[in-house]
Amino acid sequence: MKTLEMTEATAPLADYARKVRKEPVIVTRNGKPVAALVSVENADLETVALSVEPQFLALIERSRARQKADGGIPSADMRRRLGLKQK
């Protein structure tokens, strides 16, 4: 992982984007991380966009909390309910 102080980040963005193929680039301000450039190979635009969408992330957290509190539905039961073949 490469760290780079924001005041020293003077190269074109494309230069830094090429570097993330090898390792993430963390941009810092006064030594504290403020941004990260990471490779998103094998991900589509929708997946990347949802990964930072506050409403979607809140929905996922509510779902996880509910599953932890109430339990879930076994996959075999869900497959039966949906009329899918059992594994």
C-alpha distances in angstroms, 63 versus 48, 51, 58? 20, 15, 9
Strand ranges inside the chain, DSSP E: 2-5, 25-29, 32-37
Residue 25 clears pLDDT 80, i.e. is over it: yes
Q: Do 33 and 26 contact (CB within 8 A), yes or no? A: yes
End-to-end CA distance of the chain: 41
Q: What is the spatial distance between Cα 24 and Cα 81, in angstroms, rounded to a whole number? A: 43
The model's pTM:
0.58
Q: Residue 50: its pLDDT value, please?
A: 93
pLDDT of 72: 87
